[in-house]
Chains A and B, each alone.
Chain A
Amino acid sequence: QQQVKQSPQSLIVQKGGISIINCAYENTAFDYFPWYQQFPGKGPALLIAIRPDVSEKKEGRFTISFNKSAKQFSLHIMDSQPGDSATYFCAASGVHYDMRFGAGTRLTVKP
């Protein structure tokens, strides 16, 4: 059962552009929404996370936008760099619900 839907599956962005990845969840009991970055052959690394009590969180070039009523959240990467090329996973979890991951988005930033 896929509880977190992620799109697009792949994304190509020019250096300096904005990368946008979207996720939608089904379970309204989810209350923690992290984004992970994964390079080939490595484990995922926490990038940024948000809780439903705020609509936006920014850390450096990374911003999460959260829409509780629509049950959607997105990751924006400003001024995208070739080093940002990786696979990004959104996820969601709750007090009584284990973390569920989206299918992943393979981001390629062209120089």
Chain B
Amino acid sequence: GAVVSQHPSWVICKSGTSVKIECRSLDFQATTMFWYRQFPKQSLMLMATSNEGSKATYEQGVEKDKFLINHASLTLSTLTVTSAHPEDSSFYICSATLAGGTDTQYFGPGTRLTVL
């Protein structure tokens, strides 16, 4: 149980284009979903926290207009990287916590974004 999926698993795009990444909780309802960014051989850096039906809360230094987050339902959150640039190339990982559950975060498999 508590499976989180992400789509796509990897994406290559041209500089200036927008990319949407989906995060789904497959067998549970997720009150809260989190988006992380991970550079090679580094730790996970929290980008934003999103609750279903409300605006996401962004970490300091994360541009909300560049990284658009939508949490339309209890099983789906999307991250859109707008006007992507090579420096946005990274491994993006989402996680989710069970509705009414504990602090445990269940992570998706990640999405590798490469911006040319």
Contacts and interface: CB of A to CB of B under 8 A. Distances in A.
Interface in B71-116: 91, 93, 95, 102-110, 112
Contact of A98 (B46, B104, B108): B46
B49 interface: yes
Most buried by B among A36, A44, A102: A44
Contacts of A25: none
B43 A104 contact: yes
A89 B112 contact: no
Given A99-B46, A102-B43, A45 B104 contact: no
A43 interface: yes
Contacts of A98: 34, 46, 49
A89 B41 CA distance: 12
Contacts of A41: 91, 110, 112
Interface of A: 32, 34, 36, 41-46, 49, 89, 93, 98-104, 106
Closest 5 CB pairs of A and B: A43-B107, A32-B103, A43-B110, A43-B109, A44-B107
23 contacts: A32-B103, A34-B104, A41-B112, A42-B110, A43-B4, A43-B6, A43-B95, A43-B107, A44-B107, A46-B104, A46-B105, A46-B106, A49-B104, A89-B44, A98-B46, A98-B49, A99-B34, A99-B46, A99-B105, A101-B43, A102-B43, A104-B42, A106-B41
Given A99-B46, A103-B43, 15 more contacts: A34-B103, A36-B107, A41-B110, A43-B6, A43-B93, A43-B108, A44-B44, A44-B107, A45-B107, A46-B106, A46-B107, A98-B34, A98-B49, A100-B46, A102-B43
Interface of B: 4, 6, 34, 41-44, 46, 49, 91, 93, 95, 102-110, 112
